[in-house]
Each structure stands twice: as structure tokens, then as C-alpha cells.
A and B are shown apart, each in its own frame.
Chain A
């Protein structure tokens, strides 16, 4: 989502061009396990933790993190989904976007909410998520966990827990695929051919 040029919920049918796999399923699993331990370390246990996945792929990632936290700590922490569509700053520059599902099973008041997303780039999705979270309540703290940080920030936002730092050029695309949403689990970098490529502006969210 963070790096996708298509609205959430629609399949990307454009030719992705040549692909390079940078993380395979086992790499991703190890990264998530490490992130789960970091989250517990920062929080000094699972007390008060709530994971909020940003649809689409942030939600299954949050589920996986919760499973890894349960394996380490023996506690199942609440996982929610935080849709940011109506909080995006580019609503007016696209046709009406379909709105995803927001559900926060545990309240967010006084919780430590860890936002979970697949790719961090401009930081605009995270800005939108912070606004969406603020309308739901007042967390004690908000942290950010992303599977891939690819740089190119446009806002003063930084992740607390990162699966993999991936230096990329702006015209490359980082695709996170997860078994739950895409049928396979991997992270690939593609460089679209110039004529079918997305402009840097399109790829900025």
C-alpha cells in the first residue's frame, strides 16, 4: 500500500518489468521475529500493546507480529486494522477511492499502539494513520513498525522497528507480497520500463 500506485483493493496488472527478490519467505519470517522481540524489549513486555495494521498488507503483517510476540511472551495481544483512505492527502487527485475496513477491537485510549505497514517511503501514509488514530482515541504512545524502509522521506517521520532497510532509487518499485494477500511471501524490487513506468509523483505515497 505504501508503495503502490493503484488504489487499495485493486490488483496491479501492469507489467512490473525485471524483478529482483531481496527478501524471501524465510528472511521475512526472521525479520518479523526480530521485530517482535524489539517491540517487546522497547515496551518492556506485552503490557498495553495494541497492533494496528494499515490495510492491506499491514494487517496480515500485524497478525504475524502478534503470533511472533505470542510465541515469545505467551500473550496474545490485540490486532486491529486502521484504514487511512479518508485521511490521505491525495484524495482529490484520484478518482474516488474505495474505503477499507477499520476495526480496533481493543480501545486505543492509554494503549501503546504499534502501527504496522509493509513499506515506508514518503511517510504520508503514516501521517494519515496518525490522524486516523487520533480520531479514535488518545494512545499513551504510538510506535511504527515497517517491514521495509526504502528511504525517500517527504515528512519528518521515522520508523521504530524496521525489518529491512532497502536503499532504492525513486524510479524503482518495492513490492511486498504476502501469502495472505498475494499467494506468495517475498519482497521484490522492480524497475519498470520507462514507457510503462510510473512517474516519481505517482510513486510518492
Chain B
């Protein structure tokens, strides 16, 4: 594997290999010495042009536990705020001699473009409204454990993805990945938050959350991304919650054992109630834990072997 840019690039066997290795990496989280020497001498730069806490720190921990040197650069307080272009920033960082660049950018396709400018491995940590492949992988890791083990356990599982599909790179990456694993994603959103070309995604689409909830094995609630909305997508937050929030009442409609996921950060009281976020079958914190293991696995797959020339 040279880069990780999109869930679309991964074959089912690749996904199984990444998740299996992540299971080995997850064991390291329980050790007193959380360190493996695999990436000693490698340098990983987290280049974040958007705010992020969990993804950036998750990549940072993952790199450090594999003994790589990890440097964080965020747009705020860097030369980016002085007007430097993406290309110049990336070339500057690459000129220092980095082995992998983990990049988050507000423009869809930015990581793809970066691969043409530098030799380092590139990991997409979220680009605009396009993709966030490591989030999809950690969701798959969390759900695979919940479903009972191997990748085959995804077959014909119905997984509702609820909320702001239009602005969600998480939704797109998850739909692509879940379908490859044999699961049946169901997109649920008000018509204003459903992307216009959703027919081509080739999965079930609904505007009625209550009609879907009782028949799914997992429900992924998406964050309402106020920063990407210029208004007008729904009348009030209160109305959004009534129509599409995972409220206390809706919890009772779920089949027993239905997994509840949220990529975070959660808007408690908006798309997910405190009762749902803290329910026994909520996997929200498992997802965070899985994030480190999955990102360790991805970094090892990219950087663990010989340099390609």
C-alpha cells in the first residue's frame, strides 16, 4: 500500500488485513509498555488544515506507539495563516525529509493532489465532504468486534447512517467500505441533507428514521456540522432532533443489542441524546480506542517495509 486516500481503493482482503493487524495492535493498548519498534527512525507529519482533536491525537499516539517521530502542524499559527499555498506548505514539509504525511484539508481531493507533489506516503485524514477512510476502518473494526469476529460477520447486516449525509465524508467512506464487506447501509436524512447524486451510491435511502430503526443491526449517528452549513437545511435544531435525533424514546424502538455509533464530537441533545450516548450498547468510546489501533495498522502497512524507489 502506497497511500490511503479513499475507502474505494481498498479491496475486501486489504480491509481484513488492516483490521486483523489492528487487533494485534489493540493488544499493545493494554500493555504497561505501549511501544513497538516497527517504525523507529520514520517521521510522520500530521498536517491539519481543519480543527481536529481526536483524529490528530489518535494519529499522533498511533505513530508514537510504533516508535515513529510525529510532528503536528496545524493551519492556525503556521505559515498557512500567512497566506502560503497548500503546495508550498507540503513541499516545505516534505523537504525536511518526512516519510508519511497525514493530511486533513477542507478541500475534497487535496490529499490526492498532494501525492503528485511529493514522494512521501499520504494518508487522508478527512478531505472536505469527500472521504475519511480511517474513520470508516475504525467503525468497521468496532462493528466487526460487536458482530462477533471475522469480516464475514458483516454479510447482510443493515446499518443505518443517520444525519447530515450531504456534508459527511464519514458517511461516504462508510458506505463504500460497508458495501465492500457485504453489509447493507441505509442512509437516513431529511431531504435537504441528502446529497443530490445519492442514487448512484446504490444503497437504501430513507427520510423516515422511525421506519428504519427497528430493522437495523447498528445505527451510526452523524454530527450536525454547523460549520459547513450556511443555514436553511432545517428550520430549528429542535425540529431536527424531533425528526432525526436518537432520542430516549427512539432507543426503545431498537432491537436489543443494536450497536450505537457516533464518530464524534457529539452534539448531545441535538443528534444524539445523553441516554443514547451513554447506553450500554453505545460503542462511542470503543470507536475512539479502535481509532488508535486502526491507525497503527495503517501506518505499519504504509511504512513498515522497505522504501519504494
Binding site for B on A (CB under 8 A): 83, 85-87, 91-99, 101-103, 131, 135-137
Q: Assuming A99-B21, A102-B24, A103-B27, what are 8 further A-B pairs, CB within 8 angstroms? A: A86-B36, A94-B305, A96-B304, A96-B305, A102-B27, A131-B37, A135-B35, A136-B31
- Knowing A86-B36, A86-B38, A96-B300, the reply to whether A135 touches B305 (Cβ < 8 A) is no
The count of residues in chain B whose C-beta lies closer than 8 Å to any C-beta of chain A is 20
Residue B307, interface by CB 8 Å: yes
Complex CA distance for A6 and B16, rounded to whole angstroms: 22
Which residue on B lies nearest to A136, using beta carbons? B31
The minimal Cβ–Cβ distance linking A6 to chain B, given in whole angstroms, is 14
**Chain A residues near B35 (CB, 8 Å)?**
135
26 A-B contact pairs sorted by A residue (CB < 8 Å): A83-B24, A85-B38, A86-B36, A86-B304, A87-B36, A87-B37, A91-B304, A91-B305, A92-B306, A92-B307, A93-B306, A94-B305, A94-B306, A95-B305, A95-B306, A96-B1, A96-B301, A96-B302, A96-B304, A96-B305, A97-B304, A98-B21, A99-B300, A101-B24, A131-B37, A135-B36
* Total number of residue pairs linking A and B with CB closer than 8 Å: 46
The minimal Cβ–Cβ distance linking B164 to chain A, given in whole angstroms, is 37
The minimal Cβ–Cβ distance linking B282 to chain A, given in whole angstroms, is 29
- B interface secondary structure, majority: loop
Complex CA distance for A92 and B309, rounded to whole angstroms: 13
**Chain A residues near B37 (CB, 8 Å)?**
86-87, 131
- Do B33 and A135 have beta carbons less than 8 Å apart? yes
The minimal Cβ–Cβ distance linking B41 to chain A, given in whole angstroms, is 9
Complex CA distance for A86 and B27, rounded to whole angstroms: 14
**Chain B residues near A92 (CB, 8 Å)?**
305-307
Task: Output the residue of A83, A95, A96 with the most chain B CB within 10 A.
Answer: A96
- Do B24 and A99 have beta carbons less than 8 Å apart? yes
**Chain A residues near B1 (CB, 8 Å)?**
96
**Which 3 pairs from chain A and chain B are nearest by CB?**
A96-B305, A86-B38, A96-B304
**Chain B residues near A94 (CB, 8 Å)?**
305-306
Task: Output the residue of B32, B37, B300 with the most chain A CB within 10 A.
Answer: B37
Residue B253, interface by CB 8 Å: no
The minimal Cβ–Cβ distance linking B275 to chain A, given in whole angstroms, is 37
Task: Output the residue of B21, B31, B300, B304 with the most chain A CB within 10 A.
Answer: B304
**Chain B residues near A95 (CB, 8 Å)?**
305-306
Which residue on B lies nearest to A101, using beta carbons? B24
B31-58 contacts to A (CB < 8 Å): 31-33, 35-38
The minimal Cβ–Cβ distance linking A101 to chain B, given in whole angstroms, is 7
The minimal Cβ–Cβ distance linking A133 to chain B, given in whole angstroms, is 11
Residue B17, interface by CB 8 Å: yes
**Chain B residues near A96 (CB, 8 Å)?**
1, 300-302, 304-305
**Chain A residues near B33 (CB, 8 Å)?**
135-136
- Do B38 and A91 have beta carbons less than 8 Å apart? yes
Which residue on B lies nearest to A93, using beta carbons? B306
The minimal Cβ–Cβ distance linking A18 to chain B, given in whole angstroms, is 32
B280-309 contacts to A (CB < 8 Å): 300-302, 304-307
Which residue on B lies nearest to A92, using beta carbons? B306
The minimal Cβ–Cβ distance linking B39 to chain A, given in whole angstroms, is 9
Complex CA distance for A186 and B186, rounded to whole angstroms: 54
Which residue on A lies nearest to B21, using beta carbons? A99
Complex CA distance for A3 and B178, rounded to whole angstroms: 40
**Chain A residues near B304 (CB, 8 Å)?**
86, 91, 96-97
Complex CA distance for A103 and B30, rounded to whole angstroms: 12
The minimal Cβ–Cβ distance linking B295 to chain A, given in whole angstroms, is 15
**Chain B residues near A87 (CB, 8 Å)?**
36-37
Which residue on B lies nearest to A83, using beta carbons? B24
The minimal Cβ–Cβ distance linking B158 to chain A, given in whole angstroms, is 32
**Chain B residues near A103 (CB, 8 Å)?**
27
**Chain B residues near A101 (CB, 8 Å)?**
24
Task: Output the residue of A83, A86, A136 with the most chain B CB within 10 A.
Answer: A86
